Structure 1
Amino acid sequence: MLVRRRSWRPFIIFTLLFLYSVYGDELQPLLKFKSAFENSNAANVDVFRSWDVGAKPVCNFTGIKCNSNGLVSEIDLTGRKLAGTDLPFDAICSLPSLQKIALGNNSLHGAVADNSLKNCTRLQYLDLGANSFTGKAPDLSSLRELSYLNLSATGFSGTFPWKSLENLTNLAFLSLGDNPFDPGPFPTEFLKLDKLYWLYLSNCSITGKFPTDIGNLSLLENLELSDNDLSGEIPESIGNLENLWQLEIYNNSLTGKLPNGFGNLTNLKNFDASHNMLEGDLSELRFLTKLASLQLFENQFVGEVPEEFGEFQNLVSLSLYTNKLTGELPQKLGSWSGMSYIDVSENFLTGPIPPGMCKNNKMTKILLLQNNFTGGIPESYANCESLNRLRVSQNSLSGIVPVGIWGLPNIQHIDLSSNRFEGPVTMDIGKAKSLAQLLLVDNRFSGELPDEISEASLLDSIQLSSNQFSGKIPEAIGKLKRLSTIYLDENQFSGSIPNSLGSCVSISQINLAHNSFTEKIPGSLGSLSNLNLLNLSDNQLSGEIPASLSSLKLSLLDLSNNRLIGRIPELLSIGAFKASFTGNPGLCGGQNMENVRLCSSSSTNSGNSGWIRTLISCLIAGTLVLLVSLACILLVKIRKTDDHKHPLKQSSWNMKLFHVLSFTEKDIIDAIKSENLIGKGGSGNVYKVVLNDGKELAVKHIWSTTESGDRKIYRSSAAMLKRGKSRSPQYDAEVATLSSVRHVNVVKLYCSITSEDSNLLVYEYLPNGSLWDRLHTCKKIDMGWCLRYEIAVGAAKGLEYLHHGCDRAVIHRDVKSSNILLDENWKPRIADFGLAKMGQVGGDWTHVIAGTLGYIAPEYAYTYKINEKSDVYSFGVVLMELVTGRRPVEAEFGENKDIVKWVQSKIKRKESLVDLVDSSISEADLREDASKVLRIAIHCTTDIPALRPSMRMVVQMLEEAEPCMLTTITVTKDGENGHEGFRC
């Protein structure tokens, strides 16, 4: 009997048709969406491996969820490291039940079409945050069911379509911050969204007043408006937001007092209004018992810290630095909670340090600098093992430091400078295995340094200047391989300088001046390849100067006022160290050594007999007279026969004086020759002129007519010179205006010397060259943050004077680091006014584009009209150079990018400003201080000129950003590179 086999073909066809009817319409949009990622990167392979046609239902695709009807309701690919461009949102918006799109924290880029989301009408959740899109944000007006919207840090720019949100009345979560939107006032459309509990609008260019009706959003729990340009007062209606647990309004321009009723925010846990201009007292905060973090630093608050703060049982972080607070801190402060951080530096606080802040052993940072605290460090702090930073410098504290403080296991930074502490540093210091900075300057500490200090192996800086320490430096000091700075000056140390100091291979600065060290200078110091500063002055050192010191690349050397003998090593007998050896009668050196006797050709270590030295001196003097006479005769002959080779024509000269001078035009003209050339610029050559009395001048030589031969011709664009004719009246007026400038931070113009074919401008000579050289060229030096900060402030004050202090404002038009020169004490001068214009502040000049690539304000791209805000932009670039150590234009920044765009791109990616600080600035506190100046630079370089601060405001902001402890190192002249340093 034949058995008929059942055919499965109809069943398979039926099944496939059924699956297609259910999933087919959903599959195609997803596959189209997937195609945008196909070739983006390898990470996508794993994500989309399950998105295989026919392998499984779409509901089983990675990142896909379906509703009870089997239809796609969610696409969630958050944080999958996806990269892709031109995403087809219109395709996935065709999915009829789609309620959620979450693509945040990826690397998506390209534009999002304005109408691409219009069909996602059932969408309730949209997250595109933390991506790299370009162009404007899309229209969202049709997404009426939307309750969650996150577009923060997307990269969207231009004008945000605030109006499109007005009808999204279901919005509860709204996050639009960290985008470079066009500046504009607070969007009042948001005040109608009364279901909002979360509103994040930080760093999205909001200007104008704080919205007075913010209290209408009564359900708000989180309100963040930081990093904008809000002004005016905080409105009283904010007291209506009784559900608020976080309020972030830092880094704006808010003024006035905390409003009445602010104390109604009794659920507030985190409040940050730092870096504004708020004033008044803190009394409204005494009711906020749930506060965990309070950040009000860099304002103008006055009065006392409310006693109620001592009862706040949740308070873990308190930052009130740089205000005008007075009175005592509540003595119960930190006793209840696990307080971890306090910074009340730079106020006028008095009384004792609260004893209970380390009670729960969670405190990590105690920063009380620059106040008037009295008493001692509480004994209980000796057991605070969690503490990593203790900074109480510049107070009136006294007594003996609790023994346990020296050996805290996690302490990284002990700064007790400028107080009245006494007693020894105990052997417990050897237990401080994390200690990097030991700063005890200007106290009354005494006793010997314990040998155990060598066991604090991470020590980077030991600064014990101006105390009463005595005894020897421990021989074991050589174990400190990370030590970079040791300042023991102005103490009572004695004995020999340990030879082991030469084993501190990282050391860059040694200052042992004003002690009682004896015996020889150890030759091992010559092996310290990183050594930049060596000051052993005012001791009782004897013997010869080790020849090994000649190999060092020192910017400062001071061996003065000791008992050294013999010949100064030849490589140290240079102009840079001409004053480094005075007060050592037994030394001899070359002719350029100040107050050191001249070595004879046969000098020995014991010296020559007097008659031999006299005879040799006479022979040398006679020979010199003969050589000079022959040279003069030869020079006269050359001038008579070869006059055409002199750089300047012999013609009548007109000298116009702007200061009382000790030289004549002939002194200057005779010195304009090739051997004195020190620089060339777009408007002329620069020569260094040394007068007979040793005074040094810089002379800029600007040609005003053409000449035959090979001579290069320079024309002053500011003078509008014409061939064969005298200068224009405008040039004379411009020089006359600049010559009237009298400011310590603007280069001094002594006089002008002019003829028919040449113009000479005679300036003061600045021996330390330009800021550009010191930051970016082979003349680069190790500039700490405090020195960079002082240069920034000085240069800002120079520009402030030009803009606001002259009868007519001077717009420099070429502000850059190469036009900021540094004198012998590293004080800055604004220089090179070849492109400067005069007018009224706020006025415009129409002119050709002027300036230097990387420093030119963006408004030049669409208008030739400039004003003082163009200088502000350029100065902002200089600040960025000082903070980051980078050039304005570098290949690393990418095509068509400069340092401003590079910084902006880092901010968009939410990178910390501290991470952008020059890596050579290693101390954490100083990196934080530098980041404050970087914020100012960002403010100066905003695209809209009207939003940039004036130079007067820039100076004010810089002064408010002064490093928490700034001290000046003793000035030491070292010839060409004399300097006055700064340390923090």
Structure 2
Amino acid sequence: MSSDSFSGHLRSTLFVFTLLFFIIHSSSQSDERQFLLKFKSILTNSKTQVLNTWNEETHACNFTGIVCNSDEEVKEINLSNQQLAGTLDFDSLCSLKSLEKMSLGSNLFYGSVSSHLSNCTNLQYLDLGMNFFSGEVPDLSPLTQLKFLSLNLSGFSGPFPWKSIGNLTGLTFLSLGDNTFDKSPFPSEILKLYNLDSVYLSNCTIEGRIPEAIGDLTSLKSLQLSDNNLTGEIPAGITKLTKLQMLELYDNKLTGILPVGLSNLLNLSQFDVSTNNLHGDVSVLKFLTQLESLQLFENSFSGEIPQEFGDFKFLKQFSIYKNQFTGELPAKIGSWAEFEYIDVSENYLTGSIPPDMCKMGTLQKLLMLQNKFTGGLPENYAGCSSLIRLRVSNNSLSGQIPDGIWSLPNVSMIDLEMNQFEGQVPASIGEAKSLTQLFLANNRFSGELPTEISNVSTLVEIELTGNQFSGEIPSSIGGLKKLSNVHLQDNMFSGAIPESLGSCVSLNEINLAGNSLSGQIPASLGSLASLNSLNLSGNKLTGAIPASLSSLKLTLIDLSDNNLVGRVPQLLLMVAYNGSFAGNPGLCADGSKDLRECSQASHKSGLIKVAVYCFIAGVLVLMLSLAYILIIKLRKIDRKCPINRGGSWDVKQFHVLKFSEDEILRSLTQENLIGKGGSGNVYKVDLKCGEQLAVKHMWKSEPDSGSWRSSRSSAAILPKERARWPEYEAEVAALSSLRHMNVVKLYCCISSEDSNLLVYEYMPNGSLWDRLHTNKKIKMDWDVRYEIAIGAAMGLEYLHHGCERPVLHRDVKSSNILLDEEMKPKLADFGLAKIVQSGKAMNSTHIIAGTHGYIAPVYWVQNEMRTKEDMVSLVDPNISKDAKEDAVKMLSIAVHCTMKLPALRPSMRMVVKMLEEVKPYLFTDIIIEKEGANNVSLCKN
């Protein structure tokens, strides 16, 4: 073969190989793009725009969050904290053969994870933490290349596959905390992972002793084993971990003393063994000069605080409360670094308060209550503008408070109780714009309470008991609308009780006992709807007890030892205790063993006068009533019985109607009344065709009297207490365009010159509240409860995601979830609803709406959900044993909906998806009624 032909043949061969490589490479790229697009297609969240670049036209290596290697193969997926929701398709992701990093933490993924994760054999980095997965963690043993594994707060439960962890010998980072795994002893498999530099196993139900062999993990820089059920002593093996920078063992049941070898941990910056059963002194810690945070609280440590702590150059956080420490605090403590807080409360410490803890201007909390400190409050803290909480109560401190303390701009609590402080509260307190709690009880403060205190609009509690304050209570105190508790007892206040006190609408407790107050009890106090306790005893009050106090829902009333006269209102006698009215010779009552009977003579005379007046009044009333009835029959609505059917009525229909307004109006009679209140009445209407309606009659001008007295009856719609006219407009605006089987149907509104009628479908089983709490309570099995929960969630999902303009209900509660004849739920009472305008975010509102009253203890529930057994104990005992596991899963979903960080809360769309994951088997074959069926007109011929 000639050289030319050979050269040509070679070129042809190279061309073919190049072409084949290009074809194969292009095919590989196309495959990888399809794998990623398949992963995207399963996601259900539409809030994020991060995946907009993921399309058929874009090279996979140019997808947002994707990093490729030099061969243009997907190497990394970085999509953490992107609000992605849905199940994870690991079949697609693990088909990316060069994938080394998968970072999907802090999203909204849910559902179980299949074992196909094990196909990701090249993975070195896997982060699925802070999600909402369910079920068990899959087998991890094939991931032998893994160096980083984070599953904390991921939602996984059941037994953890500890054996598979033992194969991951290359791991340097392991985070499995905050999951409800089954109880297990400390996993010995971890002790073989010698490359670990960070371990987070807090709050994952580990129990028993920490093994001595923990000391073999000599590369560890961070070891967190808190919030478990660990027992025994801190092993000496931990003292071998000389690279440790963080050691957290808090909230366990550890005993014994701190091991001597802790002095070896010279790199330690964060040390927390709080809330255990440890004892002994802490002198071993004096060598740890790199400490930034030292938490020893809630143990039984004793002895003195090492003076060396005062030389720690980096210390920012120091908390040792609830121990048995003695001696003085180091004078220089907290003066070197940007000190943030100190809490040495509930010990036996003596000496002076160190003066320089706010030297760097960063101190936020100074908490030293219940010790034996002496001397004064150092002048240096008068300029500590960063201070939020100042608590030095129950010590032996004395002298005057530096003036600047009273006006600190960020201080929310000043607690100086049970000391020997003296002097006056200056007018500058009016500048403390963040102050919510002022506790000065049991000191020697004197002088008048400055009127400027009324400028502190944030005040919630004032506690001045047991001082020497004098003068009048500021008349402007009524400006403190957030004030909840006022305790001014055992002082020398004089003058009248300010009438404006009745304007402090949030008041729960008033105690003005043991002063020299005079004049009459203000009738305005009767308007304090939240008032629980009223103590005005031991003053010089005169006059009669205002009848307005009878409307209060008091648990305590004490008006003893005053100069009050007249008859005690009968309703107040019902809440009084023995002696509530003693020491008032001028008071009388009928049927009270503690008060004299009201004079029979005067009583009879009074009865005669009353009878005469009643006779005259009766005649006048009879005449006026006859005239009034005639007028009403001709032109006006009788607000007790029927509605005026005359005049002009305008009908706005939102569904096809087969009834007339006249049929509605004729039914609005007294016998059909099922609810009554401040904005109108609610009637049940039986149509000729056999169907039923609920009609809410709302007056355009508020009626003269009455608040809702109906007890959550089985009415289809029960108006909110003391409803106001804007609620009508909100309800019509919200409901008129809604079409969903889990939202109550508004057929039409019928309006006249002075009235409005809202016509709804009737819900014969009343509200969920009725069925859970009232005398209409019934036993509901888990299947019924589940259907109610998911139905309500589907209704909210429709409001948030299914409407052209999202609707925020803002008053979701059990009494606003109504039940039809089949116990299917429908959301009702949209009087507080808000329609989000197009183009505006719907993640917040500027007004806090809703109903005052019960607040679910969600954070307490979170704290109680440490083990599966704990979670089961929270479930209603009436739920059958077989269904408790499903109930626990639903409880977990509820807790996720109440996360402190709004970004971690799932959308209603995701809530529905998660609830569908825990559907009881009984309902798997039920076909949910199509939404369109909800549009069928009523009473078709």
Deviation digits for residues 812-865 of structure 1 (CA, Å, limit 9, x no counterpart): xxxxxxxxxxxxxxxxxxxxxxxxxxxxxxxxxxxxxxxxxx9xxxxxxxxxxx
Structure 1 residues 77 and 600, CA gap change in structure 2 (3 angstroms): same
- Counterpart in the other structure of 2:118: 118
Deviation digits for residues 796-820 of structure 1 (CA, Å, limit 9, x no counterpart): xxxxxxxxxxxxxxxxxxxxxxxxx
User: Which residue identity is paired with 1:202?
Assistant: S
Report the Cα offset of residue 601 of structure 1. Answer: 6.3
Judge conservation of contact 2:421–2:445 (CA < 8 Å) in 1. Answer: yes
Which of 19, 28, 31 matches 1:28?
31
Q: Does 1:51 align with 2:54?
A: yes
Q: Does 1:64 align with 2:66?
A: yes
- Counterpart in the other structure of 1:930: none
Judge conservation of contact 2:384–2:408 (CA < 8 Å) in 1. Answer: yes
- Counterpart in the other structure of 1:397: 397
For residues 88 and 246 of structure 1, what CA distance do their matches in structure 2 show? 36
1:43 is paired with a residue whose SS is: coil
Structure 1 residues 577 and 204, CA gap change in structure 2 (3 angstroms): closer
Judge conservation of contact 2:180–2:868 (CA < 8 Å) in 1. Answer: no
For residues 519 and 896 of structure 2, what CA distance do their matches in structure 1 show? 60
Deviation digits for residues 765-785 of structure 1 (CA, Å, limit 9, x no counterpart): xxxxxxx99x9889xxxxxxx
- Counterpart in the other structure of 1:528: 528
For residues 72 and 870 of structure 2, what CA distance do their matches in structure 1 show? 61
- Counterpart in the other structure of 1:90: 91
- Counterpart in the other structure of 2:743: none
User: Which residue identity is paired with 2:416?
Assistant: L
Report the Cα offset of residue 178 of structure 1. Answer: 1.5
* Unaligned segments of structure 1, at least 5 residues: 1-12, 613-771, 779-853, 855-871, 882-886, 917-984
Report the Cα offset of residue 32 of structure 1. Answer: 4.3
2:483 is paired with a residue whose SS is: coil
Report the Cα offset of residue 560 of structure 1. Answer: 1.0
Structure 1 residues 491 and 44, CA gap change in structure 2 (3 angstroms): closer
- Counterpart in the other structure of 1:41: 44
For residues 140 and 886 of structure 2, what CA distance do their matches in structure 1 show? 34
For residues 874 and 37 of structure 1, what CA distance do their matches in structure 2 show? 37
Deviation digits for residues 341-380 of structure 1 (CA, Å, limit 9, x no counterpart): 1111111111111111122221111111111111111111
Deviation digits for residues 646-672 of structure 1 (CA, Å, limit 9, x no counterpart): xxxxxxxxxxxxxxxxxxxxxxxxxxx
User: Which residue identity is paired with 1:105?
Assistant: S
Report the Cα offset of residue 254 of structure 1. Answer: 0.8
Matches within 5 A, 1:943-982: none
Judge conservation of contact 2:394–2:417 (CA < 8 Å) in 1. Answer: yes
Report the Cα offset of residue 249 of structure 1. Answer: 1.0
For residues 484 and 523 of structure 1, what CA distance do their matches in structure 2 show? 19
Structure 1 residues 597 and 44, CA gap change in structure 2 (3 angstroms): closer
Judge conservation of contact 1:366–1:391 (CA < 8 Å) in 2. Answer: yes
Report the Cα offset of residue 176 of structure 1. Answer: 1.4
Q: Does 1:105 align with 2:114?
A: no
Report the Cα offset of residue 34 of structure 1. Answer: 3.7
Structure 1 residues 67 and 192, CA gap change in structure 2 (3 angstroms): same
Report the Cα offset of residue 907 of structure 1. Answer: 7.0
User: Which residue identity is paired with 1:185?
Assistant: P
Larger mean CA deviation between 157-166 and 208-217 belongs to 157-166
User: Which residue identity is paired with 2:128?
Assistant: L
Report the Cα offset of residue 47 of structure 1. Answer: 3.8
- Counterpart in the other structure of 2:859: none
- Counterpart in the other structure of 1:644: none
* Unaligned segments of structure 2, at least 5 residues: 1-15, 609-768, 776-855, 857-866, 905-941
User: Which residue identity is paired with 1:273?
Assistant: V
Q: Does 1:539 align with 2:517?
A: no
Structure 1 residues 434 and 902, CA gap change in structure 2 (3 angstroms): farther
Structure 1 residues 142 and 915, CA gap change in structure 2 (3 angstroms): closer
For residues 412 and 571 of structure 1, what CA distance do their matches in structure 2 show? 39
- Counterpart in the other structure of 1:456: 456
Matches within 5 A, 1:163-242: 163-242=163-242
For residues 510 and 187 of structure 2, what CA distance do their matches in structure 1 show? 58
Matches within 5 A, 1:909-920: 911=899
- Counterpart in the other structure of 2:322: 322
Judge conservation of contact 1:253–1:277 (CA < 8 Å) in 2. Answer: yes
Deviation digits for residues 136-181 of structure 1 (CA, Å, limit 9, x no counterpart): 2122222222111112222222222222222322211111112221
- Counterpart in the other structure of 1:311: 311
Judge conservation of contact 1:178–1:908 (CA < 8 Å) in 2. Answer: no
For residues 280 and 56 of structure 1, what CA distance do their matches in structure 2 show? 66
User: Which residue identity is paired with 2:341?
Assistant: Y
1:359 is paired with a residue whose SS is: coil
Matches within 5 A, 1:561-600: 561-574=561-574, 576=576, 579-592=579-592, 594-600=594-600
Structure 1 residues 131 and 349, CA gap change in structure 2 (3 angstroms): same
1:408 is paired with a residue whose SS is: coil
Judge conservation of contact 1:102–1:128 (CA < 8 Å) in 2. Answer: yes
Structure 1 residues 474 and 776, CA gap change in structure 2 (3 angstroms): farther
Question: TM (normalized to structure 1)?
Answer: 0.61
User: Which residue identity is paired with 2:565?
Assistant: I
1:597 is paired with a residue whose SS is: coil
Deviation digits for residues 507-553 of structure 1 (CA, Å, limit 9, x no counterpart): 12111111111121122222222222111111111112122222222
Judge conservation of contact 2:45–2:86 (CA < 8 Å) in 1. Answer: no
Report the Cα offset of residue 568 of structure 1. Answer: 2.0
Matches within 5 A, 1:277-292: 277-292=277-292
Report the Cα offset of residue 303 of structure 1. Answer: 0.8
Structure 1 residues 902 and 314, CA gap change in structure 2 (3 angstroms): farther
Identical aligned residues as a percent: 54
User: Which residue identity is paired with 1:80?
Assistant: Q
Judge conservation of contact 2:35–2:96 (CA < 8 Å) in 1. Answer: no
For residues 214 and 66 of structure 2, what CA distance do their matches in structure 1 show? 38
Report the Cα offset of residue 456 of structure 1. Answer: 1.5
2:102 is paired with a residue whose SS is: strand
Judge conservation of contact 1:33–1:88 (CA < 8 Å) in 2. Answer: no
- Counterpart in the other structure of 1:868: none
Matches within 5 A, 1:654-669: none
1:354 is paired with a residue whose SS is: coil
User: Which residue identity is paired with 1:347?
Assistant: N
User: Which residue identity is paired with 1:111?
Assistant: S
Deviation digits for residues 446-476 of structure 1 (CA, Å, limit 9, x no counterpart): 1111111112121111111111211211112
Structure 1 residues 44 and 371, CA gap change in structure 2 (3 angstroms): closer
Structure 1 residues 49 and 410, CA gap change in structure 2 (3 angstroms): closer
Give RMSD over aligned pairs: 3.5
Report the Cα offset of residue 877 of structure 1. Answer: 8.9
1:136 is paired with a residue whose SS is: coil
Report the Cα offset of residue 23 of structure 1. Answer: 3.6
User: Which residue identity is paired with 1:336?
Assistant: W
For residues 143 and 909 of structure 1, what CA distance do their matches in structure 2 show? 33
Matches within 5 A, 1:675-824: none
Structure 1 residues 191 and 876, CA gap change in structure 2 (3 angstroms): closer
Which of 79, 82, 87 matches 1:80?
82
- Counterpart in the other structure of 2:388: 388
For residues 571 and 103 of structure 2, what CA distance do their matches in structure 1 show? 68
Report the Cα offset of residue 503 of structure 1. Answer: 2.1
User: Which residue identity is paired with 2:53?
Assistant: S
Structure 1 residues 596 and 515, CA gap change in structure 2 (3 angstroms): farther
Structure 1 residues 598 and 399, CA gap change in structure 2 (3 angstroms): same
Give the count of matched residue pairs. Answer: 637
Deviation digits for residues 380-401 of structure 1 (CA, Å, limit 9, x no counterpart): 1111111111111111112211
Report the Cα offset of residue 69 of structure 1. Answer: 1.1
Judge conservation of contact 1:153–1:909 (CA < 8 Å) in 2. Answer: no
Report the Cα offset of residue 252 of structure 1. Answer: 0.9
Structure 1 residues 910 and 78, CA gap change in structure 2 (3 angstroms): farther
Judge conservation of contact 2:587–2:595 (CA < 8 Å) in 1. Answer: no
1:397 is paired with a residue whose SS is: strand
Report the Cα offset of residue 35 of structure 1. Answer: 3.1
Judge conservation of contact 1:877–1:888 (CA < 8 Å) in 2. Answer: no
User: Which residue identity is paired with 1:463?
Assistant: E
Report the Cα offset of residue 413 of structure 1. Answer: 0.4
Structure 1 residues 315 and 185, CA gap change in structure 2 (3 angstroms): same
For residues 42 and 91 of structure 2, what CA distance do their matches in structure 1 show? 20
Deviation digits for residues 901-954 of structure 1 (CA, Å, limit 9, x no counterpart): 6775577799469999xxxxxxxxxxxxxxxxxxxxxxxxxxxxxxxxxxxxxx
Judge conservation of contact 2:48–2:83 (CA < 8 Å) in 1. Answer: no
Report the Cα offset of residue 896 of structure 1. Answer: 6.0
